[in-house]
Structure 1
Amino acid sequence: MKECPFGEKCYRKNPIHFGEFSHAHLDAIYEKGNGGGDYDIPDKYSSELIHTQLKLLEKVLPKPAAAKAKESSAAVPEAPRNAPTSRATASASSSSSSSNGIASTSSAAARDTSNLAKKQKLAERNIRDYIPVVVEKGGMAKKLERAAPYNMFLTAITDSKPTHQEPLSVTLQEILDESLGEIESSVQINFMVDIGWLLGHYYFAGILDKPLLVLYGDESPELLGIGKFKPQVTAIGVKMPTPFATSHTKMMLLGYADGSMRVVISTANLYEDDWHNRTQGLWISPLLPAMSEDADTAAGESLTGFRQDLMLYLVEYKISQLQPWIARIRKSDFSAINVFFVGSVPGGHREGSVRGHPWGHARLGSLLAKHAAPIEDRIPVVCQSSSIGSLGANVQAWIQQDFVNSLRKDSSPGGKLRQMPSFKMIYPSFNNVSGSHDGMIGGGCLPYGKNTNDRQPWLKGHLQQWKSSDRHRSRAMPHIKSYTRYNLADQSVNWFVLTSANLSKAAWGSFNKNASLQPCLRIANYEAGVLFLPRFVTGEETFPLGNNRDGVPAFPLPYDVPLTPYLPDDKPFLMDYLQG
């Protein structure tokens, strides 16, 4: 068995990983213990994490005494060792014969039925060992249909039971559910990818043997050379032009056996913690059918130009393995999509004559200026993200001069002197995190540091706490990123953006300050999001807020309104609190 490349720093908590990789430090503790949770864990390790990993070892590599006890009792079967091998593993033949090779039809059928029932129970037990929130298969298509016209979900929260049944909660297994289509191949573009955890989900979805292309941003030793062990998987690290730039997009492309496809834009990394007790957002596209070979090249585009914008975005990666998918997108009918694609790609970008600004906050501004209904200046720009970049010495430096200046735009005729709307930023306070489902560890998805915070003390006056009682997620720290303007007075939402982009110059871009040059927006990261504009989604000027309006469902904001400002004693959660 191969040694885990992370060694003592391994944070994995899934049985499949422990069936494929050995861990010398865990093996040493495991051998000395007598099982049943009685282990002597050295002080230098996190007792809770090591204990969880040892319990997984008990399932994957039971000691002889424990194995005999299991054989002689009706104990829960152990989790599958090296489960992701092939689809056939999950549906092995259950037929049997008598010792002389002849068995009656009735007895063989009875044995087949009995074996099938046992295997179904085994699969159910194993999936619940691996995935904390399991929803009955086969219902996702109807759930997505009922989520129209927004198709926006939040991830189910392990420790918040009401979210397990909430109509607008979703799990990764549901996204892979066969009711949405029989997946023949897929693309996962993400920053952090735990490939063992991801393949575990593919295994339980019955698609482990299907081609999978993974584009990842964060270094991951497990992805290097994965094709030698899993030939159906192609993993490519996205090369960035500058050292501190990030391939931060979270996107899925799902191809179905009938030629159709689907696009998913997400805020969640592909590893266990992000789908556990963290609030994440996802937009799931309608089914996008394949068009006939002789279809006009302009046919099948959405009114929002989503297909063209998505193709232009994917081309920016300059990765040959994406070419078949770009060709597939070009030949798919995207006309049912009612949102705009808003992306960021590394480099310097100038306004064009056809699309306006192509990327970043300037692209969002171009779309709002063209399509957003007029908005009163007093309506604030509300931002919410899981990290905050270096924003400058004061609110004018970048927030007002660049970012809010783009997000305040609408289709009002020019000539009127406009005021700068106020800026509000939702970010968890120290108390929000300490009272979360995971306590202080819940802040592990909030990498905002003391050094940056100390340079921008002005920000505290704009901060709002994380509250999501209506969605049962006040204690589930937000890794979601969203931007909006809404009017509490008339209970309306003017527009909403769900994206991977945190509030930072790297994600959204910063204009050069050289007056002699045509304005150039410099962006460091890859990011992807969707813009919901009422005129394209519901045909009205605004979305309802809070309650349905004339048959139009209320827009599903991820947090409570009105917002809760920081109190004088409140302080933003900083990553430094977890480091000593």
Structure 2
Amino acid sequence: MKECPYGEKCYRKNPIHFGEFSHEHLDAIYRKGNVSGDYDIPAKYSSDLIETQLKLLEKLFPKEGAKAEKQANVSGANPPAAASTSRGSSSSGTSSNNPTGSSTSQAASSSSAPKDTSNLAKKQKLSERNIRDYIPVVVEKGGMAKKLERAAPYNMFLTAITDSKPTHSEPLSVTLQEILDESLGEIESSVQINFMVDIGWLLGHYYFAGILDKPLLVLYGDESPELLSIGKFKPQVTAIGVKMPTPFATSHTKMMLLAYSDGSMRVVISTANLYEDDWHNRTQGVWISPKLPALPEDADTGAGESETGFKQDLMLYLVEYKITQLQPWIARIRKSDFSAINVFFLGSVPGGHRESTVRGHPWGHARLGALLAKHAAPINDRIPVVCQSSSIGSLGANVQAWIQQDFINSLKKDSTPLGKLRQMPAFKMIYPSYGNVSGSHDGMLGGGCLPYGKNTNDKQPWLKEHLQQWKSSDRHRSRAMPHIKSYTRYNLEDQSVYWFVLTSANLSKAAWGCFNKNSNIQPCLRIANYEVGVLFLPRFVTGEDTFPLGNNRDGVPAFPLPYDVPLTPYAADDKPFLMDYLQG
């Protein structure tokens, strides 16, 4: 069994993790303890955390005395699902093709199905079927529909933070288990499009949601052995790696399509990968669509569109993957009523893209600029563009090179009539400082979701004067490092937000696109990645020119910004957190 890379700093409370990785400090304490569960925990450790982790070891690797006692007490009961191997050796076993994911000795001995000795099989054997051992923040089932109703008109949440208790009951906090909650509908099939997918962890959530046997299509960007072989052992799961045109491009989108047994469906767009760490102590954003009912059979082909054109844009985006398995989903979307959606779909797809007479600019920052130019209320040029992401790309030798010439040039647009002389608004970038990360719930390991490196940072020293600290005390997330990505313009003086974007797209040319600099040809926006986000424009969400900021206004709820305002600029001795700090 491999040693956990976090060592003594391991904060995990997931039995899957402890079935895959050993922990020398825990092993030493566990060996010295007695079968009654009494342990001598050194003072340098958090006793609450260590006790929880030791309880997991007791379940996964019970000592001989404890096993005998348990067997005597539960005579005739079913054997536990957890592997009962001795500590320090890997558990192995067979995985059943039973759609519930359970395995029995009869099935193991008589089935002709291929023997699964993968980590995935071990993960599923290790599940004690106790949701609180598997998922750190558990919300009572059946309440998500009402929570979503109360989140109107924005339907935007942040993920619950394990080590920030106030977020567990915050009205605008959400867990993955809640997104799958049966109160939102009985899921009959689903699509998960994401960059990183821990399929065992994801299927654990599907198990507890009661949908493990339902068809699941996974499109992923980051390959893993478990994804490559999952269809062999879980025939209801189809996993497809998204082919990218260049080695430096990323399938970075984070989106769910959920189909319900009553014919309706739902779209969920988030910033979180599908693995444990991203739903633990990291600030993530999630937008959840209303329920989208099936249209009548005789409905016109153009029926069921939202005022924002979300349905058409989503279908055009999915077509870009050129994946046959998405065709039934595109057909389902076409036959669904999206008229209740009040946000714009904002996508990026790889390739070179030119403005067309029909759609204008279709993707990336140029698409955002076109929507702002058409629909955003006039904005004073002194109002800055505030960007926030979990990574920063190579932006050029100065702020003009791409930030101003390309990116801010799109994001500064509004519906002010052409002809008026405009100024370039200020650019502000929220990115965690070294101090932010070192003081996070997970200490320096909290920076594991911030892959900005020294090589890139050294080439753009000009960036520091634009950097702002990560602070989110109002949302109880100052110590939960942000993997969320957001872009906005707001006015503190009149307490208003002009527009807001929640997206998978980091601040980079690969995500948003870069215009060619050849003036002899029609401008072409080159994009490397797949990305998806949503644009909130007040005229479509609340019918007003701006969203309230801070407090409700005339019955309209304040827009739920993920961070505190006013912003806190970097001090002279502050520095951005760099991934290199974790490697040295």
Give the TM-score normalised by the residue count of structure 2. 0.86
User: Closer, same or farther in 2 for the Cα pair 1:67/1:310, shift >3 Å?
Assistant: same
Amino acid at match of 1:66: A
Question: Given the alignment of the two structures, is residue 353 of structure 1 paired with residue 357 of structure 2, yes or no?
Answer: yes
Secondary structure of 2:168's counterpart equals helix
Identity of aligned residues (%): 84
Secondary structure of 1:279's counterpart equals coil
What is aligned with 2:176? 172
Residues 495 and 531 in structure 1, CA contact (< 8 A), matched pair in contact too: yes
What is aligned with 1:101? none
Secondary structure of 1:174's counterpart equals helix
What is aligned with 1:68? 68
Q: Distance in 2 between matches of 1:441 and 1:142?
A: 36
Residues 439 and 479 in structure 2, CA contact (< 8 A), matched pair in contact too: yes
What is aligned with 1:268? 272
Amino acid at match of 2:497: V
Match of 1:477 among 469, 474, 481: 481
Secondary structure of 1:225's counterpart equals helix
In the TM superposition, what whole-angstrom CA distance separates every residue of 1:62-104 from its partner, at most 9, and x where no partner exists? 2322212444679xx97756999756579x9xxxxxxxxxxxx
User: Closer, same or farther in 2 for the Cα pair 1:475/1:397, shift >3 Å?
Assistant: same
Question: Given the alignment of the two structures, is residue 366 of structure 1 paired with residue 366 of structure 2, yes or no?
Answer: no
Deviation at 1:321, TM superposition (A): 0.6
Residues 81 and 128 in structure 2, CA contact (< 8 A), matched pair in contact too: no
Amino acid at match of 1:445: C
What is aligned with 2:109? none
What is aligned with 1:531? 535
Q: Distance in 2 between matches of 1:535 and 1:509?
A: 27
User: Closer, same or farther in 2 for the Cα pair 1:84/1:316, shift >3 Å?
Assistant: farther
What is aligned with 1:95? none
Deviation at 1:225, TM superposition (A): 1.7
Secondary structure of 1:335's counterpart equals coil
Residues 350 and 530 in structure 2, CA contact (< 8 A), matched pair in contact too: yes
User: Closer, same or farther in 2 for the Cα pair 1:124/1:374, shift >3 Å?
Assistant: farther
1:287-366 matches, within 5 Å, as: 287-366=291-370
Deviation at 1:355, TM superposition (A): 1.0
Residues 435 and 574 in structure 2, CA contact (< 8 A), matched pair in contact too: yes
Q: Distance in 1 between matches of 2:413 and 2:159?
A: 31
1:184-263 matches, within 5 Å, as: 184-263=188-267
Range that drifts further, 50-59 or 173-182: 50-59
User: Closer, same or farther in 2 for the Cα pair 1:272/1:553, shift >3 Å?
Assistant: same
In the TM superposition, what whole-angstrom CA distance separates every residue of 1:535-563 from its partner, at most 9, and x where no partner exists? 00000000000000000000000000000
User: Closer, same or farther in 2 for the Cα pair 1:17/1:573, shift >3 Å?
Assistant: closer
User: Closer, same or farther in 2 for the Cα pair 1:51/1:245, shift >3 Å?
Assistant: farther
What is aligned with 1:561? 565
In the TM superposition, what whole-angstrom CA distance separates every residue of 1:393-442 from its partner, at most 9, and x where no partner exists? 00000000000000000111000110000000000000100000111100
User: Closer, same or farther in 2 for the Cα pair 1:84/1:543, shift >3 Å?
Assistant: farther
User: Closer, same or farther in 2 for the Cα pair 1:287/1:346, shift >3 Å?
Assistant: same
1:88-237 matches, within 5 Å, as: 126-237=130-241
Question: Given the alignment of the two structures, is residue 416 of structure 1 paired with residue 416 of structure 2, yes or no?
Answer: no
User: Closer, same or farther in 2 for the Cα pair 1:136/1:456, shift >3 Å?
Assistant: same
Deviation at 1:294, TM superposition (A): 1.4
User: Closer, same or farther in 2 for the Cα pair 1:31/1:171, shift >3 Å?
Assistant: closer
Deviation at 1:15, TM superposition (A): 3.0
Residues 101 and 212 in structure 2, CA contact (< 8 A), matched pair in contact too: no
Q: Distance in 2 between matches of 1:130 and 1:85?
A: 22
Q: Distance in 2 between matches of 1:495 and 1:289?
A: 28
Residues 80 and 126 in structure 1, CA contact (< 8 A), matched pair in contact too: no
1:430-579 matches, within 5 Å, as: 430-579=434-583
Deviation at 1:59, TM superposition (A): 1.9
Q: Distance in 2 between matches of 1:79 and 1:576?
A: 41
User: Closer, same or farther in 2 for the Cα pair 1:343/1:548, shift >3 Å?
Assistant: same
Residues 83 and 200 in structure 1, CA contact (< 8 A), matched pair in contact too: no
Structure 1 vs Structure 2 CA RMSD:
2.9
Q: Give the unaligned 5+ runs of structure 1.
A: 40-47, 93-122
User: Closer, same or farther in 2 for the Cα pair 1:132/1:83, shift >3 Å?
Assistant: farther
Secondary structure of 1:382's counterpart equals strand
Q: Distance in 2 between matches of 1:517 and 1:460?
A: 35
Secondary structure of 1:495's counterpart equals strand
Secondary structure of 1:303's counterpart equals coil
Secondary structure of 2:258's counterpart equals strand
Q: Give the unaligned 5+ runs of structure 2.
A: 41-47, 84-93, 105-126
Q: Distance in 1 between matches of 2:5 and 2:570?
A: 36
Question: Given the alignment of the two structures, is residue 395 of structure 1 paired with residue 399 of structure 2, yes or no?
Answer: yes
Residues 95 and 233 in structure 2, CA contact (< 8 A), matched pair in contact too: no
What is aligned with 2:91? none
Q: Distance in 1 between matches of 2:231 and 2:95?
A: 17
Q: Distance in 1 between matches of 2:542 and 2:381?
A: 23
Residues 80 and 128 in structure 2, CA contact (< 8 A), matched pair in contact too: no
Give the TM-score normalised by the residue count of structure 1. 0.86
Secondary structure of 1:577's counterpart equals helix
Q: Distance in 2 between matches of 1:343 and 1:248?
A: 11
User: Closer, same or farther in 2 for the Cα pair 1:37/1:236, shift >3 Å?
Assistant: farther
Deviation at 1:38, TM superposition (A): 8.0
Amino acid at match of 1:304: T
Residues 400 and 420 in structure 1, CA contact (< 8 A), matched pair in contact too: yes
Amino acid at match of 1:517: I
Residues 96 and 233 in structure 2, CA contact (< 8 A), matched pair in contact too: no
What is aligned with 1:15? 15
User: Closer, same or farther in 2 for the Cα pair 1:391/1:88, shift >3 Å?
Assistant: closer
Secondary structure of 1:273's counterpart equals helix
Q: Distance in 2 between matches of 1:170 and 1:147?
A: 11
How many residue pairs get aligned? The number is 533
Q: Distance in 1 between matches of 2:216 and 2:335?
A: 20
In the TM superposition, what whole-angstrom CA distance separates every residue of 1:494-524 from its partner, at most 9, and x where no partner exists? 0000000000000000000011110000000
Secondary structure of 1:370's counterpart equals helix
Q: Distance in 1 between matches of 2:81 and 2:148?
A: 31
Amino acid at match of 1:131: I
